[in-house]
C-alpha cells in the first residue's frame, strides 16, 4: 500500500525536488552567483538570437530590489523575438535547447537553458515568468510557468497586439539571491560581455538606479561560425554513441564514420578494421554497443589522422579587442595578440586571443591585476582558482616584462579561448581544464602580448628617468653658466640658453631612443682606492 503512495508522491515532486536539491549542478550556488547566472542565460540567448537574425544586439538589463535577497530582473533585447509556438518551449522546458551536441563554436554550449531560470524563479518566489515577445509584427505578452510533473511549459496568454519592432523581454522575480557590484556580479559580467562582444550595446540599471551603458565599438556582427564535423580524436565513447543514435542516413558503421567525422576516409576505416577484427563494420550504427564504441574510440587514437580544419573558429579579432578595450577602459597601453588556430587532443580546434592593457582608465577604475577569462566570448566569472587561464597568468614571470607586481599594478588581461568544444573542468562550465596544448597556447599568447607591454613600459620608464636626468642637469645649468661666464668673459645668458638647448636635445632624443651610457663617477673609485693612505698634513 505504501509503495504506491510513496511512488506517487515521489513522482509528483520529482522535478521540483530534484531541482531544489541539485541547484548547484545547474550553477545556482551562492546568492550573487545565482543572479549572475540568470543574467548570463538570458543575455547569451539574446546575443545568439540577434546574431542569428543579423541584428546588431542591443541588450537592456535591469535589476530591482524588492526585499531582502529578493529581486526582479528584466532582460530585453532587439532580436527577432520568439514565435508563439516556440515561446513556451524556449522558456519553460528543460534541456529543450537546439544547441545540445552541435559541433559549432557557440556561447550557449555552457547554457543550462532559460527554462532553468523560469524554474528557479518559480521555486524561490512561486511567481511565473513574464515574457514579452515581439515577433513578425505581433507583440505577445505571456506568463510562463512549468508543469513540473510533465516537464511541460504552461503558457498563460495575457494579450496579443501588433508590434512595429522585434525583440524579447523577460521579467522574472527571484529570491535567495543578492545583487553585488563585485567581480562575480552582474555589472562585471556585462562589462566583460561588452568587452568580448564589441558589436553589442548593453545597458544596465542597477538596484540603486545607477545606469551604465557599454556602447558598441564595432558596427558589424562577427561572422557566423559554421558547423564542422567532429574529428575522431575529439570524441568520447558517449559522444560516439550519441552520434550513432542520431544517425539516419548511414546504414553501416563504415559509412557512418566517414559521414559523421572529418578526416575519416575509406582507407582510415580499413585501418580501423584491421585494428578491430572483432567489430563488424557493416552492421547498422544504431546497433553499436558501449563496449564497441569504447574500442573504436580507443582505436581512433592509434591511427594517424590529419588535423581538423580550423577555419570554423571565429575569434573576437585583434582590431575588435583593441577597439573594445579602448572603449571600455581607455588604457594607457594596449597589446592584443591573436594566435593562429591549433588543435588539442589531436582533434579539437581552438585558438587563443590575449589582450593586455595597462594604466590609464584601468588605474582610474581602481583595477589591479585584473584577469578576465572568456570562452567563446562568454565571461567566466567563477571558479577562477582551478582555471588553466588563471594558472598560466599566475605562473608568468611578469617581472621579466617590467610588470613588477602583477597583483598590484593597473593591468588588465583578457584571455579568450575559442573552440568548438571548450574543455571545461566541470559541469559548472566556469573554468578551463589544464589541457597541455591549450595551456601552451595561452602561455605563448600571454608572452607575445607581454613583450609589447614591456616595450612600452620600458620606454616609459626610460622617459621618466630621462626626464629626471634632465631635471637634475637643468638645475645646475644656471650656476654653471654664471661660472663659465666669469671664467671666459662671455655672456652668461647666451651660455645658459645654449646649454639648455643642448640638454633638451640630448634628453628628448633619449626618451625615444633610450639609454644614457653615463660612465660611473670616478670619485667613488678614488675614495676607495686611496682610503687606506694616511691623511695629509694639510687637511683642516
Partner 1 sequence: MTAEKTTIDTNAMKKLGNLGTSMVQQVKKGEGPTFETTLRTKSNTIFDESAGCLRTGDKKEQRKYLSVAQARTFMQTVAVAAKSRQFLKENLHTSIRGLFYQLKFSLGEDIDEDLFTEQSESNGLIEDLEVALKIKREDLNLTTDRKGFVAGPMVITDRFGGDETTIDLEKQGRSGWSIPSDVDNGMEIKKLDADYVLVVEKDALWQRLNEDKFWKKENCLLVTPKGQSTRGTRRLLRKLADKKLPVYCLMDCDAWGWYIYWTIKTGSMNLAYLGRDFAVPEARFLGVTMSDIKEFSFLDKLTIKAKDVDVKRAEEMLGYPWINRHDDWVRELKMVLKTRKKIEQDALQGQRLTFVGEYIKDKIEKKKWLS
Is position 487 an interface residue for partner 1 (rule: CB under 8 A)?
yes
Is position 515 an interface residue for partner 1 (rule: CB under 8 A)?
no
Nearest to partner 1 of 304, 475 (CB atom):
475
Is position 489 an interface residue for partner 1 (rule: CB under 8 A)?
yes
Q: Which residue has the cell 573542468?
A: 425
Give 55's contacts (C-beta < 8 A, 6+ positions apart).
78, 79, 80, 166, 221
Nearest to partner 1 of 364, 502 (CB atom):
502
Is position 479 an interface residue for partner 1 (rule: CB under 8 A)?
yes
Among residues 503, 508, 511, 514, the one that binds partner 1 under rule CB under 8 A: 503
Nearest to partner 1 of 68, 535 (CB atom):
535
Nearest to partner 1 of 164, 472 (CB atom):
472
Q: For 359, left (φ over 0), alpha (ψ -120 to 50), or beta?
A: left
Q: At CA 467, angle to CA 465 and CA 469, rounded to 5?
A: 70
Least distance (Å) between residue 399 CB and partner 1: 25
Give 366's contacts (C-beta < 8 A, 6+ positions apart).
none
Would you say 139 and 161 are in contact if contact means Cβ atoms under 8 Å apart? yes
Nearest to partner 1 of 161, 519 (CB atom):
519
Among residues 54, 277, 515, 520, the one that binds partner 1 under rule CB under 8 A: 520
Using the contact rule CB under 8 A, the part of the chain among 207-215, 384-392, 430-438, 479-487 near partner 1 is 479-487
Is position 512 an interface residue for partner 1 (rule: CB under 8 A)?
no
Nearest to 282 by CA among 306, 254, 308: 254
Angstrom CA distances, 79 to 82, 200, 310, stand at 9, 12, 29
Is position 68 an interface residue for partner 1 (rule: CB under 8 A)?
no
Give the 3-state secondary structure of residue 302. coil
In this structure, the number of other CB atoms found within 10 A of the CB of residue 207 comes to 17
Is position 56 an interface residue for partner 1 (rule: CB under 8 A)?
no
Among residues 95, 266, 502, 513, the one that binds partner 1 under rule CB under 8 A: 502
Nearest to 140 by CA among 208, 102, 91: 91
Among residues 54, 67, 223, 537, the one that binds partner 1 under rule CB under 8 A: 537
Least distance (Å) between residue 527 CB and partner 1: 8
Is position 473 an interface residue for partner 1 (rule: CB under 8 A)?
yes
Angstrom CA distances, 188 to 218, 231, 381, stand at 21, 36, 8
402-421 residues in contact with partner 1 (CB under 8 A) are none
Q: Which residue has the cell 554550449?
A: 109
* Burial status of residue 142 (CB atoms within 10 A of its CB: 0-12, 13-18, 19 or more): buried
Angstrom CA distances, 308 to 208, 280, 312, 525, stand at 50, 27, 10, 66
Distance in angstroms between the alpha carbons of the first and the last residue of the chain: 116
The beta-strand segments (E) located in 215-297 are none
Using the contact rule CB under 8 A, the part of the chain among 19-27, 247-255, 377-385, 518-526 near partner 1 is 518-526
Among residues 24, 478, 509, 512, the one that binds partner 1 under rule CB under 8 A: 478
Is position 464 an interface residue for partner 1 (rule: CB under 8 A)?
no
Among residues 476, 493, 509, 513, the one that binds partner 1 under rule CB under 8 A: 476
Among residues 2, 162, 164, 472, the one that binds partner 1 under rule CB under 8 A: 472
254 is written with which cell numbers? 563504415
Among residues 433, 456, 506, 514, the one that binds partner 1 under rule CB under 8 A: 506
Angstrom CA distances, 297 to 72, 235, 308, 510, stand at 48, 7, 17, 62
Nearest to 412 by CA among 457, 462, 366: 366
Nearest to partner 1 of 13, 491 (CB atom):
491
CA 449 to chain centre: 17
Among residues 408, 490, 493, 504, the one that binds partner 1 under rule CB under 8 A: 490
Number of residues near partner 1 (by CB under 8 A): 44
Nearest to partner 1 of 319, 516 (CB atom):
516
Using the contact rule CB under 8 A, the part of the chain among 97-105, 183-191, 327-335, 491-499 near partner 1 is 491-499
Nearest to partner 1 of 52, 493 (CB atom):
493
226-285 residues in contact with partner 1 (CB under 8 A) are none
Q: Which residue has the cell 542597477?
A: 206
Nearest to 339 by CA among 307, 305, 313, 357: 313
Is position 516 an interface residue for partner 1 (rule: CB under 8 A)?
yes
Is position 522 an interface residue for partner 1 (rule: CB under 8 A)?
yes
**Footprint of partner 1 on this chain (CB under 8 A)?**
468-469, 472-473, 475-476, 478-480, 482-484, 486-490, 495, 498-499, 501-503, 505-506, 516, 518-523, 525-526, 529-530, 533-540
Amino acid at each position: 500500500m505504501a509503495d504506491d503512495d510513496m511512488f506517487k508522491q515521489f513522482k509528483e515532486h520529482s522535478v521540483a525536488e530534484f531541482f531544489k536539491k541539485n541547484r548547484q549542478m545547474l550553477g545556482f550556488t551562492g546568492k550573487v552567483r545565482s543572479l549572475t547566472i540568470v543574467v548570463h542565460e538570458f543575455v547569451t540567448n539574446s546575443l545568439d538570437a540577434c546574431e542569428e537574425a543579423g541584428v546588431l544586439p542591443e541588450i537592456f538589463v535591469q535589476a530591482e530590489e524588492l526585499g531582502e535577497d529578493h529581486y526582479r530582473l528584466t532582460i530585453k533585447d532587439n532580436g527577432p523575438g520568439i514565435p508563439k509556438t516556440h515561446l513556451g518551449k524556449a522558456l519553460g522546458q528543460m534541456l529543450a535547447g537546439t544547441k545540445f551536441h552541435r559541433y559549432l563554436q557557440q556561447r550557449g554550449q555552457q547554457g543550462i537553458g532559460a527554462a532553468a531560470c523560469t524554474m528557479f524563479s518559480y521555486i524561490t518566489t512561486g511567481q511565473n515568468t513574464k515574457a514579452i515577445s515581439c515577433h513578425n509584427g505581433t507583440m505577445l505578452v505571456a506568463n510562463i510557468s512549468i508543469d513540473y510533473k510533465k516537464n511541460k511549459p504552461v503558457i498563460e496568454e495575457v494579450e496579443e497586439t501588433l508590434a512595429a519592432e522585434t525583440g524579447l523581454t523577460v521579467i522574472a522575480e527571484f529570491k535567495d539571491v543578492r545583487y553585488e557590484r563585485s567581480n562575480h556580479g552582474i555589472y562585471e559580467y556585462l562589462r566583460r560581455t561588452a568587452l568580448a562582444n564589441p558589436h553589442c550595446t548593453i545597458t544596465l540599471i542597477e538596484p540603486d538606479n545607477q545606469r551604465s551603458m557599454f556602447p558598441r565599438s564595432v558596427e558589424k556582427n562577427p561572422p557566423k561560425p559554421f558547423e564542422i564535423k567532429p574529428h575522431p580524436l575529439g570524441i568520447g565513447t558517449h559522444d560516439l554513441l550519441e552520434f550513432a543514435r542520431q544517425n539516419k542516413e548511414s546504414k553501416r558503421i563504415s559509412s557512418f564514420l566517414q559521414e559523421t567525422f572529418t578526416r575519416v576516409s575509406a582507407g582510415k576505416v580499413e585501418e580501423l578494421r584491421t585494428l578491430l577484427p572483432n567489430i563488424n563494420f557493416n552492421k547498422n550504427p544504431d546497433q553499436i554497443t558501449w563496449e564497441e564504441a569504447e574500442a573504436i574510440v580507443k582505436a581512433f587514437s592509434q591511427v594517424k589522422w590529419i588535423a581538423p580544419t580550423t577555419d570554423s573558429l571565429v575569434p573576437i579579432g585583434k582590431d575588435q579587442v583593441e577597439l573594445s578595450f579602448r572603449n571600455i577602459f581607455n588604457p594607457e597601453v594596449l597589446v592584443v595578440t591573436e594566435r593562429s588556430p591549433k588543435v588539442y587532443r589531436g582533434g579539437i580546434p581552438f585558438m587563443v586571443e590575449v589582450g593586455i592593457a595597462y594604466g590609464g582608465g584601468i588605474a582610474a577604475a581602481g583595477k589591479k591585476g585584473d584577469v578576465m577569462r572568456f570562452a567563446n566570448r562568454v565571461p567566466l566569472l567563477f571558479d577562477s582558482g582551478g582555471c588553466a587561464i588563471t594558472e598560466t597568468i599566475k605562473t608568468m614571470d611578469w617581472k621579466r616584462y617590467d610588470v613588477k607586481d602583477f597583483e598590484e599594478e593597473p593591468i588588465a588581461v583578457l584571455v579568450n579561448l575559442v573552440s568548438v568544444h571548450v574543455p571545461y573542468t566541470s559541469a559548472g562550465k566556469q573554468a578551463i581544464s589544464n589541457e597541455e596544448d591549450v595551456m601552451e597556447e595561452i602561455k605563448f599568447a600571454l608572452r607575445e602580448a607581454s613583450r609589447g607591454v614591456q616595450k612600452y613600459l620600458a620606454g616609459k620608464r626610460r622617459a621618466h628617468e630621462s626626464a629626471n636626468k634632465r631635471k637634475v642637469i637643468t638645475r645646475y645649468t644656471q650656476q654653471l653658466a654664471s661660472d663659465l661666464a666669469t671664467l671666459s668673459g662671455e655672456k652668461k645668458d647666451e651660455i645658459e640658453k645654449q646649454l639648455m638647448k643642448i640638454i633638451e636635445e640630448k634628453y628628448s632624443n633619449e626618451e625615444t631612443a633610450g639609454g644614457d651610457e653615463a660612465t660611473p663617477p670616478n670619485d667613488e673609485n678614488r675614495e676607495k682606492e686611496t682610503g687606506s693612505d694616511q691623511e695629509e698634513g694639510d687637511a683642516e
